Amino acid sequence: MQTFELYLQSEKRFIEQIIARYFRGELRHDVLQELSIHLFFIYNQNFESKAHLFDSRAWLRTVVVNFCISQLRKEQAQKNSVWSQSTTSINLKADEHASINEEQMQLLYNAALGCVSKKEALILKMKYEYKCTSKEIERRLKIQYVDVLIARIKARIRKKMGRIDLEY
């Protein structure tokens, strides 16, 4: 049985060439790492039953191209014109000793919402602005595990914006 590491190493150059068609600079390395994780899960789920797929570069090309397109769509969703009033480049950080006025708080809030997709922003707004319960959000949006999702969204915002306290 071929291990995933050997498979990835043998196909790495081929994968990098495909990624280079879609992404430039440091983003290539990030996409390659995320794709490696994605391929690892596919490998673990399908190698026993569909080992023949991993011999085909056509199949691998399809997986890599679809992953790249998915990543581009995610980037485009964050740059959607709905978010033109907010930007991810604002780095307002809350100090424990400094008082934040209402305008700064609104800028920080808009910047945080600009870091996530429209659906994720809707979930945050429903939870914190409209004070909906997690069960109500799950029912209305037809999604599960809202509390876990909110924790992941907040972690992603913290990562993009630097360490801030989101519990105001």
Interval 38-55: pLDDT, tens = 888 887 776 666 766 667
Q: Cβ contacts of residue 79 below 8 Å, gap of 6+?
A: none
Q: Cβ contacts of residue 71 below 8 Å, gap of 6+?
A: 22, 23, 31, 34
The pLDDT score that the predictor gives to residue 30 is 87
Q: Which residue has the tokens 């306290």?
A: 165
Q: What is the 3-state secondary structure (H, E, C) of 18-36?
A: HHHHHCCCHHHHHHHHHHH
Span 14-43, mean pLDDT?
86
Q: Give the predicted TM-score (pTM) of the model.
A: 0.45
